[in-house]
């Protein structure tokens, strides 16, 4: 092997070791590995923190001294050491609970490290049992919240392929998780609205959240639903956007209620307008009736005055003629006056009848 090849391999090995150590430090468990001779080969800070190990002790790489330090913190250190001997003799995986003096429990896992088909040591990992239970409980609760939500909660990747589908989505859209996971989200989007998906993905890829976007989506049986969407980016451990979480709230009933309310408002406005027209017609009719009544009163007052003049003449001549004290010529004049004024009254009464039918009909 040339020197350059040897250097290249050494660099690759160093890179691999660096990546492995970074992965160990990023993990939630305390980790330590040993070789077949009982020397410590690698560890992370979490391992030191769990057991309160001083770094100078670990740097000795003597696993027996480290186990002695750990045993002092356990209720049964002899059983702890005896169990290690059993595990190492078994050449298999192991799981144990270690009880500390203060009553806390530590979960211990181990697995054989192989190299070239041969055992090359063992990897040990530790974590407080309460931490696991708490993490599992949180994960369980979150999963239960998602699964039992009334809203559809859907995960998808940046290509629009569905990666998760809760019971709310099944209830709202009619598709089961088996039918939808691995298929395109476009399955739910009407053809005339598919440009929305490009817009949504472009916003998500920028790491932005899209809230209360109201649109139309399709159910399995072909119905169109009004939905309000809230879309959030899903990021990996390094902060890169790898997908989107979509919450769809069915607002179809609200939209229908809004439509019914708008129609009711229009009907009410039309009814109010009709009522206003009727009121205006009633006012106009009442005003016209009042005007006619005034004209009738004025007409009757005028007629009464006009009738009184010829009537007075008739009554005056009738009184004179009845008294009998008049000259011969007065009789003829009086009769002519009575006849003339009677005709005038008759004419006026005829005119009144015509005026009444004209003005007050």
Show the domains of the chain with their CATH numbers. Answer: 20-133 (3.30.450.20), 149-250 (3.30.450.20), 256-359 (1.10.287.130)
Q: Supply the pLDDT for residue 106.
A: 92
Q: How confident is the model at residue 356 (pLDDT cuts 50, 70, 90)?
A: low
Sheet holding 210-218, edge to edge: 162-165, 152-157, 241-250, 224-235, 210-218
pLDDT in tens, 239-249: 888 898 899 99
- In this model, does residue 43 exceed pLDDT 80? yes
**Confidence band of 1 (pLDDT split at 50, 70, 90):** low
More confident residue, 103 or 74: 74
Which residue carries 């806390």 as its tokens?
A: 104
The pLDDT confidence band at residue 136, using thresholds 50, 70 and 90, is low
Give dist(CA 65, CA 348) in Å, integer.
144
Does residue 128 sit in helix, strand or coil?
Answer: strand
Q: Where are the alpha helices (DSSP H) in 37-121?
A: 45-51, 55-58, 63-71, 77-90
Give the predicted TM-score (pTM) of the model: 0.41
Which has more confidence, 77 or 294? Answer: 77
Which tens digit of pLDDT belongs to each residue from 212-228?
Answer: 889 999 999 999 999 99
Q: C-alpha dihedral over 131, 134, 135, 140, to 10 degrees?
A: 160
- How many Cβ atoms are within 10 Å of 199's Cβ, its own excluded? 11
């Amino acid at each position: 092997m040339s020197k350059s090849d040897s250097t290249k391999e050494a660099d690759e090995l160093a890179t691999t070791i660096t990546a492995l150590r970074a992965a160990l430090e990023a993990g939630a468990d305390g980790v330590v590995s040993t070789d077949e001779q009982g020397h410590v080969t690698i560890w992370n800070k979490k391992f030191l923190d769990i057991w309160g190990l001083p770094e100078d002790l670990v740097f000795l790489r003597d696993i027996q001294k480290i186990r002695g330090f750990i045993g002092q913190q356990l209720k049964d250190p002899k059983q702890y050491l005896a169990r290690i001997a059993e595990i190492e003799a078994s050449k298999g995986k192991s799981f144990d609970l270690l009880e500390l003096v203060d009553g806390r429990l530590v979960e211990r896992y181990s697995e054989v490290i192989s190299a070239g088909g041969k055992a090359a040591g063992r990897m040990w990992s530790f974590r407080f049992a309460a931490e696991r239970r708490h993490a599992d409980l949180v994960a369980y609760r979150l999963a239960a919240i998602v699964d039992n939500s009334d809203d559809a909660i859907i995960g998808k990747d940046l290509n629009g392929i569905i990666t998760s589908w809760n019971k709310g989505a099944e209830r709202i859209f009619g598709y089961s998780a088996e039918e939808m996971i691995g298929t395109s989200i476009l399955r739910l989007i009407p053809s005339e609205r598919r440009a929305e998906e490009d817009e949504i993905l472009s916003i998500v890829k920028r790491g932005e959240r899209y809230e209360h976007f109201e649109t139309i989506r399709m159910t399995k049986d072909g119905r169109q639903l009004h939905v309000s969407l809230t879309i959030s980016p899903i990021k990996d451990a390094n902060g890169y956007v790898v997908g989107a979480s979509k919450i769809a709230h069915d607002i179809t009933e609200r939209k229908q209620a809004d439509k019914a309310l708008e129609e009711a408002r229009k009907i009410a406005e039309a009814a109010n307008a009709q009522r206003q027209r009727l009121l205006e017609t009633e006012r106009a009719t009442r005003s016209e009736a009042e005007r006619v009544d005034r004209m009738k009163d004025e007409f009757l007052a005028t007629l009464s005055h006009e009738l009184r003049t010829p009537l007075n003449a008739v009554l005056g001549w009738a009184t004179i003629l009845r008294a009998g004290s008049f000259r011969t010529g007065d009789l003829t004049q009086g009769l002519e006056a009575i006849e003339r004024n009677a005709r005038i009254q008759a004419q006026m009464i005829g005119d009144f009848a015509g005026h009444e039918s004209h003005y007050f009909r």
